A and B are shown apart, each in its own frame.
Chain A
């Protein structure tokens, strides 16, 4: 049986103490869950938070506890793939291979323990969270939205925001440049609604696999990243034509209209600004299936929970693209300070002085959201922002080390951009290849530091205070 969210939370509580906090007091899904997360983040706590008593949208106590911040720690993402934080992007690349799914009978699918079809399928029975003050209302913030290409049969998986406008009514938002839109247009051309599956809650490796940047049949990549074939089972609405993940917490099946548009948003986005009200395709729920003891997974928009989920996959993708041209690339970091989308720090062991600007050009054209790239030498840890900014301070001269490219495609969620047109840029903060022309970084002789230990010079009381 596939690893699942239930088994992962059990593992965290057993093996990684401090990584799960349970809130037993009742909370409202309207703003109170985000408020508690914000207060814990202010105390530098990035644990998964499980809210055990939450009201549903009818005002009744929900059967489903709410889980938030599952993805809010690089340590947990690395743990989910059995690796270290430093090795996470490379481990992801090693696993990002297609493994065909297996079909299991509905009787062996945990997600079919509770099946509600048609009028019985009621979104308001879920503890759906309203996150920020100007949000239009409750939003599904964590669904892995599955749409199948009507021509190739490939399924795209994308985490999309979904406005809940009624017990069976939703409005979806997706970017016109992304794969969901690509498939949506094919259905529209065929004058058909889009069979849509929304997966809420699964093992973190499932979500990471679904964030692949490859245009392929993504459930196969999920299998690769999970390390075993993904178990699928027939949907309630379309049977064998559209499959759903068998060991998910909860699945919503819906028909997405290709002929109508409705209002959704404002919604607080990853940039930590509101995305404005816009039009999106409405969806009508046809079925909701779940585990009896399902968790309801929420992702906190605009926080590490939201940003980090995608960061290692973007880092892996950029690393691969850069390495094809600049083999000396060492590491890539999409820092949370840059929303894990708009900034990249790249370290290289360069072989010529043109490589840093080449790295900047490759990276900026590889992800439409990426806006600024800082390239540093291999002696700088890209996961340490103080070191990166030190390199900018001491190894760049902006009359020759700054690259500015106006008129590129960006994200309209960046409030400084002119809709989707943005100015991108990069800084070459590397030393010249000919190091004899550049001063040496200060060091203390290694012969001294390797033989000295603090314990030999400080008392136990002082050491305790450190």
Chain B
């Protein structure tokens, strides 16, 4: 099953990928800080947009 987990940065609104294992770690510890590769801001899961962390199909599958 081809999937990546996508998060949306609450600061700049851009999407990027996180690994499945990191998704699980966030679920276990929502205070865990992510860092946006575009604007470099740190944020936690509660600060994400409503669409965040939605698995999406990836090209090439």
Query: Contact at B19–A275, with CB atoms within 8 Å?
Result: yes
A424–B38 alpha-carbon span in the complex (Å): 35
Expressed in whole angstroms, the minimum distance between the Cβ of B19 and any Cβ of chain A is: 4
Q: Closest chain B residue to A165 by CB distance?
A: B35
Picked from B1, B20, B37, B61, the residue with its CB within 8 Å of the CB of A266 is B37
Q: Would B22 and A279 count as touching, CB distance under 8 A?
A: yes
Say which residue of B20, B37, B58, B60 sits within 8 Å of A419 (CB atoms).
B20
Q: Is A276 an interface residue (CB 8 A)?
A: yes
Q: How far is the CA of A45 from the CA of B19 in the complex (A)?
A: 35
| B26 vs chain A, min Cβ distance (A) | 10
Q: Is B50 at the interface (CB under 8 A from chain A)? A: no
| A137, A274, A412, A415: most-surrounded residue (chain B CB, <10 A) | A415
Cβ–Cβ contact A266 & B22, under 8 A: no
Once bound together, how far apart are the Cα atoms of A278 and B35, in whole Å? 10
Chain B interface residue count, Cβ-Cβ cutoff 8 angstroms: 23
Chain A: minimal CB distance from B28 (Å): 12
| Alpha-carbon separation in the docked complex, A419 to B3 (Å) | 9
**Please, which residue of chain A has its CB at the minimum distance from the CB of B58?**
A415
Chain A positions within 8 Å of B19 at CB level: 265, 275-278, 412
Contact B35 A277 (CB under 8 A): yes
B12 contacts across to A, CB distance below 8 A: none
User: Is A263's CB under 8 angstroms from B20's CB?
Assistant: no
Within 8 A of A (CB), among B1-48: 1-2, 4-5, 7, 16-22, 25, 33-35, 37-38, 40
The answer on a CB contact under 8 Å between A277 and B18 is: yes
| Interface contact B37-A416, CB-CB below 8 Å | no
Residues of chain A within 8 A (CB-CB) of B34 are 263, 277
At the interface, yes or no: A136 with Cβ under 8 Å from chain B? Answer: yes
- Given known pairs A136-B35, A418-B1, the reply for A266 and B40 (CB within 8 Å) is no
- B21 contacts which chain A residues (CB < 8 A)? 278-279
The verdict on A415 contacting B37 (CB below 8 Å), with A274-B17, A278-B18 known, is no
C-alpha gap A277/B5 in the complex (Å):
10
Q: Is A273 in the interface zone, CB < 8 Å from B?
A: yes
A278 proximity list for chain B (CB < 8 A): 18-19, 21-22
Residues of B within 8 A of A419 (CB): 20
- B16 in contact with A277 (CB, 8 Å): yes
A134 contacts partner chain B, Cβ-Cβ < 8 Å: yes
Task: Give residues 361-385 of A contacting B (CB, 8 Å).
Answer: none
Structural contact, A276 and B60, CB atoms closer than 8 A? no
A266 pairs with B17, CB closer than 8 A: yes
Complex Cα distance, B53 from A393, in Å, reads 43
* A415 touching B2 in the complex, CB below 8 Å, given contacts A263-B33, A276-B18: yes
Contact with A279, one of B2, B25, B37 (Cβ below 8 angstroms)? B25
The closest CB in chain B to the CB of A421 belongs to B1
Q: How many Å lie between the Cα of A412 and that of B40 in the bound state? A: 25
Q: How close is A49's CB to chain B, nearest CB, in angstroms? A: 25
Quick one: which of B7, B38, B61 contacts A415, CB cutoff 8 A?
B61
Chain A neighbourhood of B59, CB < 8 A? 415
User: With A137-B40, A278-B21 given, is the CB distance from A416 to B61 under 8 Å?
Assistant: yes
Query: Are B5 and A276 closer than 8 Å at their CB atoms?
Result: yes
Query: Nearest chain B CB to A269's CB is how many angstroms away?
Result: 11
A-B contacts, 7 of them at CB < 8 A, read: A134-B17, A134-B37, A136-B35, A263-B34, A276-B20, A277-B34, A416-B2
Report A's interface with B, CB cutoff 8 A.
Answer: 134-137, 263, 265-266, 273-279, 412, 415-416, 418-419
Q: Which 6 A-B pairs have the closest CB atoms?
A: A276-B17, A276-B19, A277-B18, A278-B19, A136-B37, A276-B18
